[in-house]
Amino acid sequence: VCVCVRVVPCVRAPLRLYAFLAQEPPAQFMVRRQVLTLYRDFLKIARAVDDEYYKDYIRDQVRTGFRNHIAETDQKEIATLLARGQVQLQELRDTMTLAGAATS
């Protein structure tokens, strides 16, 4: 879902935005929030990588993975993808922890 923002300020624009957000069911809002949080967590971990090659590689993989499923609407599939993403995030965190311990 794309919300276009005008360059010229409009008084009614915030009202349209609030009306648009009000149409989104609470369950979808929560799922969207979880997806965005997962995406941000992946990018935070990528920022912590020292090697620029691996940092770019992780960022590209994360962006590609999320982009490939941007049009997904099936709630069960979205839940499965979220669960898989959480597992992958934890594996990446564990790998980063082990890599930090190995270099220390």
For 60-97, how does the pLDDT look when each residue is reduced to its tens digit (9 = 90+)? 999 999 999 988 888 899 999 999 999 999 999 999 88
Buried b (16+ CB within 10 A) or exposed e, 75-89: eeebeebeeebeeeb
* pLDDT score of 49 more than 80: yes
Q: Take residue 25 and report the two structure tokens written for it.
A: 């069911």
pTM: 0.70
Helices 26-47, 75-103: axis angle to 10 degrees equals: 20
- Token pair 């965005």 is at which residue? 36
